[in-house]
Structure 1
Amino acid sequence: MRHNQRAEKFRQIVENKFQIYNSLFMSLPYDKMTNIGMLLPFLCEESKTGYEAGKTPEEIVEEFFKNHTDLKTEEQKLELLFKIIQYIERQVVLFDSIEDAAFPSLHSESDTGTVTNMYERSYQDHKLEQIRDKLKDFAVKIVFTAHPTQFYPNSVQRILHDLRNAITTDSITNIDMLLQQLGKTPFVNKEKPTPIDEALSIIYYLRYVYYDSIGELFNKIKTTFGNDHFHLHEDLIQLGFWPGGDRDGNPFVTAEVTKRVAEELRTAILKAHYNHLKSVRRRLSFRGVSEVLGQLSNELYTAIFRSEQLEAEDIIKRLDEAEKILVEQHDSLFIDELVNFRDRVKIFGTHFATLDVRQDSRIHQKVIDEVFAKISGKAEATNEEKFNTLIETEDKINAEDFGDIVKDTLLTVSQVAEIQQRNGLRGMNRYIISNSDAVKDVMNVYAFFKICGYREEEIKMDIVPLFETMEGLANAEKVMEELYRNPVYQKHLQRRGNQQTIMLGFSDGTKDGGYLKANWEIYKAKEVLTQLSEQNGIKVVFFDGRGGPPARGGGKTHDFYASQGKTIANNKIELTIQGQTITSIFGNKEQARYNFEQLLTAGVENDVFKSSKKELSEKERALISELAEISYQKYSDLKAHPMFVPYLQEMSTLEYYGKTNIGSRPSKRGAGNELKFEDLRAIPFVGSWAQLKQNVPGFFGFGFAMQQLKEQGRFEEVIELYKGSDFFKTLVLNSMMSMNKTYFPLTYYIKNNPKFGAFWNILFDEYNLSKNIMLELTGFTMLQQEDPLSRKSVKIRERIVLPLLSIQQYALMKIQKGEGNTVAYGKLVTRSLFGNINASRNSA
């Protein structure tokens, strides 16, 4: 489908449907909300024309009250604003559902990045064998994190699911009923979810989306590329899981929680297998076969409800038995049903998704210090002496002898073997250390296993350092080199198949170094670590902590991976997915399958189809480095500006993130009252800029760097770089996506603010500069010109939430002035966060 055909189709099946179904809202049974549908377009219009005329949000909202309502008291006005927010939230859900339902019609089986497309390309280029070769040991892994960027409670998620189906069949009656249900269903959690709640809400997706979508995709690849000599390995597409295992900055994740989540994952996959087996048995009703499958069904039932041990191998053994009878006695009738089910059992085992443990290196150090002091009686020692002493100790430490954090860390490590026994080795096999910047950070974790009584050969866990700050990335090579040479760790790696996973944190990197610098530093770190690992005979796997929006390393995922050249190890593509990215990119079967395909083909094609645009020449490298340094300097100056943190604290929604009850984790590290830049978590940091419609982390410094070269008469070099390097091009297009979601007129009023006016102007000037120079660079006439579907989607979403932003800014202005009921205005700000973030789901 051509760009303009797609855009026209989008207009017909998304925009038009939204207009039609939106009118159903008019008759919804909202309490006292009958006239909201009539009033909203006025607030929308007042906002649009008002901002363009330079009016403040306060003026716009007050004029709306005056011109279109006869409300007199502050209480009445606040009540109306809350009702408008509720109404807009539901409009966002409707638009999400319509866009999701349209997905299959807007994408085809032969799109770039699909398995079919990869087959056709490889067939024409005589590269089928090379593709099969790559598929032998390649894998893609999506790791679901608990990071709170999704605001729909489970009850709303389920309505979304049903609404999408009703829209697919254009069932007006069902849509009407579901919109009525939506009108009466609360959108807000009364209290913060627990880590268990977070885990269960993602397990819902595992069961009702990924069990089928991954199984079907596996089958599609098998039938497309498989033959008598080639068998696809079942670990090709993997799932990882952080809720309940990620305790970094989350005091509510305990050893007990981790154990319970592991059990929930095990039960969920056994239930999925049990249900699947039911449908297989409906077909395989033949003598001999049905008895074997009946027995398996009973075994699954007791494993689920009586918690008896059942391993994937046991299930497979039964299925092999049934297959033998089917082939020998029943002409292999319906054998595909059986094989398909066996594939699912091999893919998901009894674990469903691999539960990771993650903790901050500073907490680990505290644990090591306390245990060392107790064992040795010494107060002073080097870090190396501490971990070596603990590694060599023969005595198992009693966790009960220590305070909370030490005790819980040791209990978590102690129960790993038990979880591995219940869920299989794939159920839990790695420990991730955030803020890694030294060898001790990895060796400390190895020491934990030793003091918890594990013998060396019993430590069936990968230890994964996470490098995220600019400093951490710069140290990565030195740290890994020392580790690879450490005799104790060398032996551990041998037992783990000489494979090392290294995680790289994009979101904290961007927060620390700015957009261009962070992406370039991570790219270079990957190259250096690839070379170092190869020299040491280690197969390295990079695990990318890529968030949703470009400002957190996200953006167009297929393009990102397809642009990495042969200097970066490509053994596996592994990345984190969270919050609204789960629902918007992997939220239903069609989308999930399509996006898994895109990742898989990006990795496979990268090795098989060579392109000069993937390899950076020395000249291109020098130029990107130069641009990265200039932009880093510009971004660092901004960070060092005395108004940087105060601006976010006083003018944005930063302070309100912690009050939203969306995640179980506190929104900042550290306990002090004074907010320091280092304590800011990447998600509220990036999110607050997004709420202000300024998206600073997604572009700041990039345009300035290009402008500097332009002033030196070297802009031609930048154009050549854009045309010649896929990596640089992807960075530019992702940054333009960030800018397309900005709307500076919303905050024009700040330019006259005595305290923040000058700071606001710095941001606005850089935005204008970046936008103009990127349009000049790309030859586009508008941002996101190359992606009309995403551009249209953004535009409609921005239109839906504009009144919401007016209300949010209005409330913030009231709070700043200390006028009226500031508590109620605070609630208004928090409440407006929800719809706004849910609406920006295509930030991914």
Structure 2
Amino acid sequence: MTHTMPATASERDIQLFTTLLGEVLREHSRKRVLVVVERLRDGFLTLRRADDPELRAKLMHRINSLDPQTLSEVIRAYNIYFSLVNIAEEVNGYLQRRSLVSAGGRLWRGSFDHTLRQFAADGMSADQLQNLFAQLLYLPVFTAHPTEAKRRINLETQRRIFLLAIDLHRHKLNQEEQQDLLGKILGEIQILWKTDEVRIHKPQVADEVRQGLYFFRASLFTALPLLYRNLDRTVRRIYNTEKPMHVPSFIQFGSWIGGDRDGNPFVRPETTELAIRMQCELVLEEYLERIQQLSRILSHSNLLCQPSPQFLNSLDADEDYWINTMRQSQRRYGHEPYRRKLATMRHRLMVTLDRVRARLQGHDVRLPDGYRDADELQQDLYLIRDSLMSHGDANVAEGELKDLIRLVETFGFHLVHLDIRQESNRHTQAVTELFARQPGAPLYAAFNEEQKLLALSEAIAHPHPLHIDKATLTFETRETLEVFELIARLRAEISPQIFGAYVISMTHHASHVMEVMLLARLAGLAGYTNDGWFCHLQIAPLFETIEDLTRIDQIMATLFNHPTYAALLKASGQFQEVMLGYSDSCKDGGILTSTWKLYEAQERVMALADAHGIQCRLFHGRGGTIGRGGGPTHEAILAQPIATVRGQIKFTEQGEVLSYRYANPETALYELTMGISGLMKASRCLIEPVTEIRKDYLGIMAELAHDGEAAYRQLTQNMPGFIDYFYEVTPLDAIALLNIGSRPAHRKRNDRSLNSIRAIPWVFGWAQSRHTLPAWYGIGSAIERWRGNDLERLAKLQRMYQEWPFFRALLSNTQMSLFKAEMHIAHEYTRLVQDRGMAEMIFQHIQAEYQRTLTQVLHIAGLQMLLEETPELQVSLGRRNAYLDPLNHVQITLLERYRDESTLEQREQWLDLLLRSINAIAAGMRNTG
């Protein structure tokens, strides 16, 4: 495989990787594959410059003439190319950052250095910064409900290539060393070529749990302590105060993997328990390794230094532990007190881990006392730290010991806070059935909302609310109850921190929240006793349709004003989490109205919480793609409404985002830093007055959102044949069979309506066929209608773009989506639609809106071409097109064959190739769901 002349370090690496991939193809593929790959690439590049029907026909003839095995290898070659490009760009980004750090000058926007220098220049005092630190919480939540197409084994190979590429740059190598490294990279590419990138079997939820856990061991356990070291150093350098500032451990992680049962029949109570025990096992293994490491470092002799009295007292208590529990004395490390302490800590951790492993195997064994909880381990680590500092070894305490302390403060024994999610209808069904089983009970389903709230509140407050005979219940209701019982049991056994929020998707009424509270009451998680109200379940209603976002303050006001809910909220600390759904609101009303309704909903719910004296945290259900709330984290946080972040941000990390951000510790460190600096900037409202957004900007956005929704609904709901168009021009029928997630593609089987299609395959399908429609449709019509030919109105929109981070982020993300769209390729997919006249009519509407949106966005941003302000991103996405174009045409051919009734006996063969093409296009576009 050849490549154009390189201009940058990134281009040189891409050329190198492409050359090595060509060598692998030459030696280990069918002889024609390399020639086909290059000729298709070059041919479609020529078509990009100028359409040539004769050349297009020749290229399609070449694709149609390929036998299935050659076609498979061509697709795989493109897929591996995209993986190598991603690695080269990631390596180059890391090396550029390291070069800036080494030079000792100012660092990039979003770095801790840049952020704190800006704070200091703006007059923020050390006390104000300390106050800000005390209120921070950065909480990414890993989910498996998206469509991460990469296998774990491939991620490991790609990690090795990443490290080898860094070595190639980092060291001054002689020719022999260079050849050795190149040989190793060649070998790893060869391994990629001979490893199947498509899963043979659909993943089980346990596989998804392992996939999520991979990023902690491979990356986050390394990146997190480094991040805190960087922040500590930057604070000392810029705020050089007499009294050292304390940076608390404010990063935590959440997860939905094994807890998200909304529409996923494979997530059972036992699945959730398995996920939690796997999390505990992983984090305990990490602590054991690090304590073993510390034991090789802290070899201080008590003949040469004097540990603190508190530490020595703890050694006496440890001796009692050995004698009373283990029936033996600790004989090792007589003059090495820290190693002696660490040996006891290691033993106690091992006992704790053995207990977790036994329960993973289904055994409830009685083992000698280990650690009851992470607090006990933390106290032992603090004792060592304070003792080291007492005899002049503070610098030693600041090393690996502090790294371990940071990890324990962050991950405890739970690793992540596991959120539970279920759809509101499932709770309503359970409560309806439970009420129906009570003697003389009226029909709950016939109640209006006010009657439901009354019945629920009376049951929650009752000492013996409902008589339950589980044997008489339906399977669904019995399972729903078992989830709450599991939460109660594992909170008591492991830690109250093991669970995060109970998320209720499709929250339409206040009763949907109170139904969950009743189910919690039945499991002993909430209720009323002689000591008063108690509540051990944090409920997060999820508002995800346009209608629900519009009514968010009405629903939450009903809850906040309800005596029973208010009492339970007070018992749990006057804290409320509210989740916002980006995906379904976008699918429902289009990107413009979704984005604006989310903005308004945040403002209204925060104002409501303030009026009731309630601390409210917003939970952002962002996806990887723009159509699902994606985009750079730093800009996304700054684009939130003024004074709604308030030190805390919680958001989902979905799909391919996990591997792009967290597969390598070097990149994870950068991504976490960018997110946290965005959080700090957006939270300045906690310590200083804020500048309100201009009212006229808000009014303009409201008008744009209204017109954008009208345009979007005209297409998706009123255009005859539109749903058929969607199913036929996208590979949704294959996406549903792709082994990349355990979740079905539809909420209801055999329901082809827009409501039934899940937001992820909706966005995924449009991206595959290069429409990327959910991320931009309606924006052009709305802007064109508002501004007309009025130059003053255009000038006002341009000021909005320059002055308002929300509007700037919206249009910047729109540029990226427009760049990824390709109307000439999208038009090729219309060949797949049976009703060609209908397809042409719908496509013309889409193409016209694309052109309108492109024109308006460029005018407002003052640009000649898309992504002109971010040239690196422009080049990155542009270089993929040479390989995406042939892949899209291959996919069109495969869809035709897969759907051809005359080839039913070969259908499985075409499906396998089609799934490979989906994987490859997703890798090339750097997004799936």
1:703 aligns with 2:780: yes
Whether the aligned pair in 1 keeps the contact of 2:624 and 2:928 (CA below 8 Å) is yes
CA distance in 2, matches of 1:699, 1:240: 30
* Distance (whole Å) between structure 2 residues aligned to residue 779 and residue 435 of structure 1: 40
Greater shift, 109-118 or 391-400, is seen at 391-400
1:372 aligns with 2:435: yes
Q: In structure 2, how many angstroms separate the alpha carbons of the residues matched to 1:62 and 1:566?
A: 53
Q: What is the alpha-carbon distance in structure 1 between the residues aligned to residue 768 and residue 339 of structure 2?
A: 58
Amino acid at match of 1:77: D
The 3 A distance-change label for structure 1 pair 748 and 297 is: same
1:356 is paired with a residue whose SS is strand
Cα distance, 1:419 vs structure 2:
2.0
> Which AA in structure 2 matches 1:144?
F
Quick check: which has more Rg, 1 or 2? 2
2:209 to 180, 199, 211: 199
Partner Cα distance (1:544, 1:185) in 2: 36
Aligned residue type for 2:10: V
**Pair 1:289 & 2:338 matched:** yes
DSSP 3-state at the match of 1:415: helix
Aligned partner of 1:511 among 584, 587, 600:
587
Q: Is 1:17 equivalent to 2:79 in the alignment? A: no
> Between Structure 1 and Structure 2, how many residues are aligned?
827
Identify which range, 816-825 or 266-275, moves more after superposition: 816-825
Query: Aligned to 2:43, what secondary structure does the other structure show?
Result: helix
- Which residue identity lines up with residue 15 of structure 1 in the other structure? E
Whether the aligned pair in 2 keeps the contact of 1:438 and 1:479 (CA below 8 Å) is yes
248, 260, 266: which is aligned to 1:233? 248
2:378 is aligned to 316
The equivalent residue for 1:100 is 90
In the TM superposition, what whole-angstrom CA distance separates every residue of 1:754-789 from its partner, at most 9, and x where no partner exists?
Answer: 231100111111111111121122111110111111
Which of 696, 702, 722 is the aligned partner of 2:801? 722
Pick one of 472, 476, 479 that aligns with 1:408: 479
Contact residue 631 and residue 705 of structure 1 kept, 8 A: yes
What is the rounded CA distance, in whole Å, between the counterparts of 1:48 and 1:329 in structure 2?
A: 69
* 1:55-74 alignment runs, 5 A limit: 55=53, 59=57, 61-64=59-62
Shift of 1:437: 1.4
- Residue 666 of structure 1 aligns to a residue whose secondary structure is coil
The one of 270, 279, 282 aligned to 1:268? 282
- Asked if 1 retains the 8 angstrom alpha-carbon contact of 2:253 and 2:415, the reply is yes
Task: Output the TM-score relative to the length of structure 1.
Answer: 0.93
Q: How far 1:445 sits from its partner (Å)? A: 0.8
- Given candidates 80, 83, 90, the residue that maps to 2:80 is 90
Please list the CA deviations of residues 587-637 of structure 1 after superposition, one character each: whole Å capped at 9, or x if unmatched: 321221212122212122224389999742111111111111111100010
Deviation track 1:117-176 (CA, whole Å, cap 9, x = no partner) reads 112122223314322211111211100011232111111111111111111112212111
Q: Structure 1 residues 176 and 137, CA, compared in 2 at 3 Å: closer, same or farther?
A: same
- Give yes or no for contact 2:591–2:776 (8 Å, CA) kept in 1: yes
Q: Does 1:618 align with 2:695?
A: yes
Q: Which residue of 1 aligns with 2:191?
A: 181
CA contact (8 A) 1:156 1:182 kept: yes
Bigger shift: residues 454-463 or 295-304: 454-463
Is 1:81 aligned to residue 71 of structure 2?
yes
Tell me, yes or no, if the aligned pair for 1:139 and 1:573 is still in contact at 8 Å: yes
Q: For the residues of structure 2 that align with 1:564 and 1:220, how far apart are their CA atoms?
A: 26
CA distance in 1: counterparts of 2:691 and 2:862, whole angstroms: 21
Answer yes or no: is the 8 Å Cα contact 2:526–2:537 preserved in 1: no
C-alpha separation in 2, matches of 1:805 and 1:522: 34
Asked if 1:436 is matched to 2:512, the reply is no
Counterpart position of 2:497: 426
Return the alpha-carbon distance in structure 2 between the equivalents of residues 415 and 694 of structure 1: 44
State how far apart, in whole Å, the 2-side matches of 1:645 and 1:63 are: 30
Structure 2, unaligned runs of 5 or more: 102-106, 169-180, 301-335, 357-366, 528-532
- 1:388 matched to which residue of 2? 457
Query: Is the 8 Å Cα contact of residues 140 and 574 (structure 1) preserved in structure 2?
Result: yes
CA positional deviation for 1:420: 2.0
Which deviates more, 274-283 or 26-35?
Answer: 26-35
Letter in 2 for 1:154: R
Structure 1 residue 731 and structure 2 residue 798: aligned?
Answer: no
Q: Pairwise mapping of residues 631-670 of structure 1 onto structure 2 (< 5 A)?
A: 631-640=708-717, 641-670=719-748
Matched-pair contact (CA < 8 Å) for 1:138–1:571: yes
2:847 is matched with 764
Deviation at 1:728, TM superposition (A): 0.8
Which of the numbers 540, 543, 547 marks the counterpart of 1:471?
547
Q: In 1, distance between residues paired with 2:57 and 2:47?
A: 8
Provide closer, same or farther for how the CA distance between residues 396 and 212 of structure 1 changes in structure 2, counting only shifts above 3 A: farther
Give me the CA root mean square deviation: 2.6
1:5 maps to none
Matched, 1:576 2:591: no
Aligned equivalents of 2:52, 2:439: Cα separation in 1: 69
Give the 3 Å change call, closer, same or farther, for CA 31–367 of structure 1 in structure 2. Answer: farther
Matches of 2:31 and 2:294 in 1, distance apart? 50
| Cα contact 1:558–1:602 (8 A) shared by 2 | yes
- CA distance in 2 between counterparts of 1:317 and 1:721 reads 52
- Are the structure 2 counterparts of residues 260 and 371 from structure 1 closer, same or farther at C-alpha, using a change threshold of 3 Å? same
1:335 is the counterpart of 2:397 = yes
Instruction: Decide whether the 8 Å contact of 2:534 with 2:568 is kept in 1.
Output: no
Q: Determine the C-alpha separation between the residues in 2 that align with 1:441 and 1:464.
A: 11
Question: What displacement does 1:244 show?
Answer: 0.2
Structure 1 residues 560-585: Cα deviation after superposition (integer angstroms, max 9, x where no partner): 21133435342311111111111112
CA contact (8 A) 1:437 1:472 kept: yes
Contact 2:769/2:829 (8 A) holds in 1: no
Whether 1:629 aligns to 2:691 is: no
CA distance in 2, matches of 1:330, 1:618: 58
User: Given that residues 526 and 568 in structure 1 are in contact (C-alpha distance below 8 angstroms), is that contact kept between their aligned partners in structure 2?
Assistant: yes
Alignment of 1:280 with 2:294, yes or no, is yes
**1:219 paired residue number:** 229
Partner of 1:746: 825
Q: Indicate whether 1:536 and 2:546 are aligned.
A: no
- State the alpha-carbon separation in 2 of the partners of residues 57 and 193 from structure 1: 42
- Mean Cα displacement is larger for which, 421-430 or 611-620? 611-620
For residue 445 of structure 1, what is the amino acid of its counterpart?
V
Secondary structure, counterpart of 2:838 in structure 1: coil
Contact 1:615 1:725 in 2 (8 A): no
CA shift for structure 1 position 184: 1.2
**CA 1:56 to 1:681, structure 2 compared with 1: closer, same or farther past 3 Å?**
farther
**Shift in CA distance, 370/88, structure 1 to aligned 2, threshold 3 Å:** same
2:44 is paired with a residue whose SS is helix
Task: Supply the distance in 2 between the matched residues of 1:348 and 1:490 (Cα, whole angstroms).
Answer: 31
Letter in 2 for 1:837: A
1:28 alignment partner, SS class: helix
State the Cα distance separating 1:427 from its structure 2 match. Answer: 1.4
Name the amino acid aligned to 1:82: S
Q: Percent identity?
A: 24
Aligned-residue offset at 1:696: 0.7
Structure 1 841/372 Cα, relative in aligned 2: closer, same or farther at 3 Å? Answer: same
Contact 2:432 2:443 in 1 (8 A): no
> For residues 240-277 of structure 1, what are the alpha-carbon distances to aligned partners after superposition, in whole Å with 9 as ceiling and x for unaligned?
01110000110000100001110111111111111122
Distance 1:615 1:697, change over 3 A: farther
Determine if the alignment matches structure 1 residue 788 to structure 2 residue 871.
yes
Q: Is the 8 A contact 1:651 1:812 kept in 2?
A: no
Within a 5 Å distance, the mapping from 1:152-191 to structure 2 comes to: 152-170=150-168, 171-191=181-201
Q: Which residue of structure 2 aligns with residue 3 of structure 1?
A: none
Q: Note closer, same or farther for the CA distance 1:760–1:55 as it changes in structure 2 (3 Å cut).
A: farther
Q: Which runs of 5+ in 1 are unaligned?
A: 1-7
